[in-house]
Amino acid sequence: MAPDDPPQVPRPAGQPSFPVARPRRLRRTPALRRLVAEARIGVDDLVAPLFVREGIDGPVPISSMPGHSQHTVDSLLAEAKRLVSLGIPGLILFGVPAHKDSNGSEAWNPEGIAQRALRALRDSVGDEIVLMADLCLDEYTDHGHCGLLGADGTVLNDPTVALYQRIALAQAAAGADVVAPSGMMDGQVSAIRAALDGAGHDQVAILAYAAKYASALYGPFREAVDVQIAGGGDRRAYQQDPHNRREALLEIAQDVAEGADMVMVKPAMTSLDVLTEARHSVPVPLGAYHVSGEYAMVKAAAAQGWIDGAQVALEQLVALKRAGADFVLTYFAAEVAEALGA
């Protein structure tokens, strides 16, 4: 064998040997790499999270999320139009009310900030972008939990789900294409589906936060929505335990069985195994939420000159697609869309 001949793969006696594949041949040029790429991130894969806050005169920058702000309704509309111009197909809206109470009543108020913003978005951008609305109570409660509290401070499942139904109806009436329950209450999807269908909103879809882990990566988001959990508590009693994978897959399967049109895994980069298994087990579209802490870490390291932030962002989003996500909710959405369109 000549020194440059490819190695031979041993074969059973009587069968010919074949050269071992040399994948580097297919990495030689950018065009070859594009041609054989197994996973791609494109503008059509992106959903942009946006925040709208009541009682402010102009956008308020979010210190832990450089490049993002709490919007007024007017600045929200301007940002939505920019997303449309970039070709981004979806946004998800989070409301920050001026008044919070123990029940989170502004969440289903027809004149609450999220509902007013949804109506304004519908009038402004029509069907040019999918309007998703986060469906939860934590942004609206004075205790920062995702549901009603019992006398002992625990979150009550069924009374909370009844309020989720009211929120879903308010969001649908305001123009949401998709409602996205994120509280991880048992039975929330079936209850919301029944409420929507019963009120004639059968065309409104449900994106279920089906596997939402109790993660330490949500800190910047809590700044963005002005949430502090009462008494320094946490949500580990109802959000997914980060130690568990099988349990997460059960949650995902249950939400699909209850009528979820799409399901989501959150946070994204620490859940690649769950994304891959979910992709093999459920037939509905699968989203991944690249969360605020993941965004903030990339931004902070890039600001120190330690990494190429734009390239790391692309690598992470491609990894989510490779793991099985059909779409990604990410605070990098506009930046990535601009880069891909350059």
Q: Which CATH number fits domain 40-341: 3.90.230.10, 3.20.20.70, 3.40.640.10, 3.40.50.300?
A: 3.20.20.70
Judged by DSSP in three states, 19 sits in strand
Angle at 45 between CA 43 and CA 50, to 5 degrees: 85
- Asked if 138 and 167 count as a contact pair (C-beta separation under 8 A), the reply is no
Percent of the chain, pLDDT > 70?
A: 94
Residue 201 pLDDT class (50, 70, 90 cuts): very high
User: Which range has the worst mean pLDDT, 20-29, 80-89, 176-185?
Assistant: 20-29
Residue 228 pLDDT class (50, 70, 90 cuts): confident
Q: CA 54 from chain center: how many Å?
A: 23
Residue partners of 13: CB distance under 8 A and separation at least 6: none
Annotated active-site positions, please? 212, 266
Prediction pTM value? 0.92
- Would you kindly state where each structural domain of the chain is located, as residue ranges? 40-341
Average pLDDT of the chain is 93
| Higher-scoring residue by pLDDT: 236, 88 | 88
Specify the residue for token string 């308020």. 60
- Asked if 91 and 47 count as a contact pair (C-beta separation under 8 A), the reply is yes
Residues 258, 191: Cα–Cα separation, whole Å: 9
Residue partners of 41: CB distance under 8 A and separation at least 6: 314, 317, 318, 320, 321, 328, 336, 340
Q: Which amino acid is at 224?
A: A
Q: Report whether pLDDT(5) > 70.
A: no
Specify the residue for token string 């130690």. 243
pLDDT at 229: 85
Residues 325, 286: Cα–Cα separation, whole Å: 5
Residues 183, 246: Cα–Cα separation, whole Å: 19
DSSP state of 60: E
- Sequence-ordered alpha helix ranges (H) in 175-271: 188-198, 219-224, 246-258
Q: Which amino acid is at 223?
A: E
